[in-house]
Amino acid sequence: MALDELKSAIPDYAKDLRLNLGSVIGNSDLPQQQLWGTVLACAIASRSPRVLRELEPEAKAQLSPEAYTAAKSAAAIMAMNNVFYRTRHLLSDPEYGTLRAGLRMNVIGNPGVEKVDFELWSLAVSAVNGCGQCLDSHEQVLRKAGVDRETIQEAFKIAAVLQAVAATLDAEAVLAE
């Protein structure tokens, strides 16, 4: 399994990441679609070719074609939204918040999978990309849909671990050059 290869590539100084990677994927209480959609969306958001290359085949095998496409769509749309809304929030001029966004986001309304799954993946990608406004928005939608805090935290734990693994392995690749 590629997960084992990825874990074995993590250096000993980052042993906690190796253990956490095995835990957040191997011992997750999330249903398979939520788990592997979160893994795929976060692997894409991590921008690490190695992490994506290792985890994508298993995600593709675990997900329906619709869920596979929706997870990639969540990563794509949130790459745009996280920059846009984070910037709006960080600017000291509140007038930007009153302007029309003017960006197409149709996939959020019709993702091709259960809305809760897409929202969970969008929240996880927003955690990787550090957009507080998007995190709040997706968390509120999930909570209103009855999703418990433990499930939401599980998604951003996956995001945190995959981002850390990506940063570590990409740094090691550069240092080995």
Q: What is d(CA 6, CA 132) in angstroms, rounded to the nearest whole number?
A: 29
Q: What 8-state DSSP symbol labels residue 95? A: G
Q: Which of 71, 131, 141, 166 is catalytic?
A: 131
Q: In terms of Cα–Cα distance, which of 115, 147, 121, 144 is closest to 134? A: 121
Contact 8, 129 (CB under 8 A): no
Q: Do 39 and 155 meet the contact criterion of CB atoms below 8 Å apart?
A: no
- Asked if 36 and 62 count as a contact pair (C-beta separation under 8 A), the reply is yes
Q: Kindly name the residue from 35, 134, 142, 162 that is annotated as catalytic.
A: 134
Instruction: Answer yes or no: 42 catalytic.
Output: no
Whether 131 is a known active-site residue: answer: yes
Give the length of the chain: 177
Q: Around Cβ 126, how many Cβ atoms within 10 Å?
A: 27
Cα separation, 82 vs 126, in Å, equals: 6
- Please give the positions annotated as active site: 131, 134
